[in-house]
Structure formats: structure tokens, C-alpha cells
Amino acid sequence: MGIAETLAAIASGEEAAFTALYREMQPKMERYATGLLAGDGEAAADVIDEAFMDIWRSAGNYDGSGSAEGWIRRIVRNKAVDWIRKQKEKVGIGEGEQAEYEKNADLDDTPEQAFEKKSEGDELKREMNRLSDEHREVLWLAYFEHKSVAEIAEIAGCPENTVKTRLFHARKQLKATLERRREETGSGP
């Protein structure tokens, strides 16, 4: 049974269908949420729990247009965005203050932290976490989940050209940051 058929079964109240969907989709959606939430696995688990509760309650709202997985990802994405907003509200930081904080944040590692870096993959993930939510999302979907531009546009709810622009700027920013770090530490090309 495909995801669309499983959603229809869930809409008719079949708990076994929900269990099957959860088992199939939960690991993939948790990785996706973790990427959206800058690597915060604990927050991602909470987001996934909330998302799947919404899926249980609203499975009948899936109308068959677009991919069923894309519909589920939009729910996860919306829950992740809500979580991010709540965190900003908890610390009392407004949008402008958050942008200013991120712009002026000290991004340099101490020598001890630089020494502790295990691999380029770890460094890449750390730097991805410093990207904006939109840039991190498109990079995650493109490179870690191997989604096409069209699929990313559907998931992110934006035009394909916006996805292309976000990918371009995210890669450019990531490349510049990684090159700067390598120059500072005197490592690698």
C-alpha cells in the first residue's frame, strides 16, 4: 500500500494503517526535522510526535494533489517552523534582534575546538547549522535526501526559481565560510 492509500485508511480510522505509516516514515521525517532544527535531535523528536498527531487527525485532508510524502513533509516543516518561533519567543528575541545577533555572532572556534573537529563532514554540518532555516532546508533536501528542485519547491511551498536561488546562496555562503575556516586553521585546500 502506498502512502496515499495509507492516508486514506488512516482517515477512515484504521489504527494499523497509522502504525504502518509511522514505522515507515518516522525515521526519514525525524532526519528531515533534525536538519531543519540545526541538528537538535531532541526537538526533532518532539516535532515529529506533534506532526504525526496532526497526520492522524487530518489524514482526510489529503486530497491526492501532489505527493503524499510532500504533504507529510509540509506538516513536519510547519511544526519545525512553529518550534523555532516558540524558541525565539521564549528568549524574547524579535526577528530584527535575531538577525542582528546572528550577523554579529562570533563564528570562530577556539583553537581547542578547531583541534577537536573530527572530520570535514562534522565541519560541514556545523556550518550548515549556521545558515538560515530556508537555506539549511534546501541544502538538506538536495544533498542529504537527494530531492529534485521540483520536489523541494513542493515541500518548501515556494517556486522552483526560489529554490534555485536559495541553493545558490546557501552553497556560496557555505563555501566561503569553509574556505575562511581552512585559511584560519591552515588546513587543507
pLDDT band at 105 (very low <50, low <70, confident <90, very high): very low
Q: What is the pLDDT of residues 165-179, one digit of tens each?
A: 999 998 888 888 878
pLDDT band at 5 (very low <50, low <70, confident <90, very high): very high
Per-residue pLDDT at 102 exceeds 50: no
pTM of the model: 0.61
For range 87-116, the mean pLDDT: 50
**CB–CB of 71/8 below 8 Å?**
no
What integer best gives the mean pLDDT of the chain?
Answer: 80
Which of residues 131 and 186 earns the better pLDDT score? Answer: 131
Q: What is the pLDDT of residues 65-88, one digit of tens each?
A: 888 998 999 999 889 888 888 877
Looking at residue 131, its pLDDT comes to 83
The dihedral region occupied by 147, where left means phi > 0, alpha psi between -120 and 50, and beta the remainder, is: beta
Between CA 10 and CA 71 the distance in angstroms is 14
Per-residue pLDDT at 120 exceeds 50: yes
Q: Structural domains in the chain?
A: 3-90 (1.10.1740.10), 107-185 (1.10.10.10)
Handedness of CA 180, 131, 69, 44 (dihedral sign): positive
pLDDT band at 144 (very low <50, low <70, confident <90, very high): confident
